Amino acid sequence: MFTRSIAKLTVLAIISAAGFSAPAQGSWKLVWSDTFDGTFLNTNHWSFETGNNDGWGNNELEYYTDNSQNACVSNGILHIVARTNGVGKFKYTSARIKSAGLFSKQYGRFEFRAKFPPGKGFWPAIWLMPENSVYGGWPSCGEIDIVENKGDYPAVVQGTIHYAGADGQGLQSTGIYTFPVGGQCEYVSHL
């Protein structure tokens, strides 16, 4: 096994994430939630993206699978695991999940909780994409990277909004947060 990454991922919805359970606040109404109960990923909420798609734009070296060795649920936690059991020309395997086609919401409060693995080569991320790309392909359609962490720098996370300028060229606005010394890269978001 290469290494193990544990993530409590719940995104693209107003949710009550594993490890804490809070009712919708004030006039908020809970419309979608995944607390990763049971032993399997809820395929009514999530689907797998498999393959590599020429590195998915980030020169990724792993092949994404729907194999339970790369993604499993236990004790209310979604575990996403990178392994050295490669596929074809790819040395590593991991998992990539999405809610696209299963759930979307234009406005609301989105909450999730995640713990990222430290280590060279890791780049865990939680991000939002539009349901319909009415402005065209990427970057014109936009993308919100809620949180990303490069495992080489476990105390640093960033969020980015990707968009296109009038000329169609990609632009971005990025915010960076560094955890205090000795702090853990455990991220809780209330967007």
Taking the C-alpha atoms of residue 156 and residue 162, their distance in angstroms, rounded to an integer, is: 19
**Which position among 49, 62, 143, 186 bears the catalytic label?**
143
Q: Tokens for 61, please give them.
A: 């070296």
Q: What is the pTM of this model?
A: 0.77
What pLDDT score was predicted for residue 10?
Answer: 30
Cα angle: 115, vertex 72, 21; to 5 degrees: 55
**Which position among 60, 62, 111, 148 bears the catalytic label?**
148
Determine whether 143 is an active site residue. yes
Determine whether 111 is an active site residue. no
What pLDDT score was predicted for residue 52?
Answer: 95
Which SS3 state, helix, strand or coil, does residue 141 take? coil
The correct CATH number of 3-190 out of 1.20.140.10, 1.10.1130.10, 2.60.120.200, 3.40.50.300 is 2.60.120.200
What pLDDT score was predicted for residue 12?
Answer: 29
Binned average pLDDT, 10 residues per bin, the chain of 191 residues: 32 34 70 90 95 89 95 93 92 94 88 87 90 90 93 92 94 92 55 48
What pLDDT score was predicted for residue 9?
Answer: 31
What pLDDT score was predicted for residue 186?
Answer: 53
What pLDDT score was predicted for residue 16?
Answer: 31
What pLDDT score was predicted for residue 43?
Answer: 93
Q: Are 126 and 146 in contact (CB under 8 A)?
A: yes
User: How is the chain split into domains, by residue range?
Assistant: 3-190
DSSP assignment string, 68-135: TTTEEEETTEEEEEEBS--BTTBSEEE--EE-TTT---SSS--EEEEEPPPSTT---EEEE--SS-TT
Mode of pairing for the β-strands spanning 62-64 and 92-94? parallel
What pLDDT score was predicted for residue 188?
Answer: 52
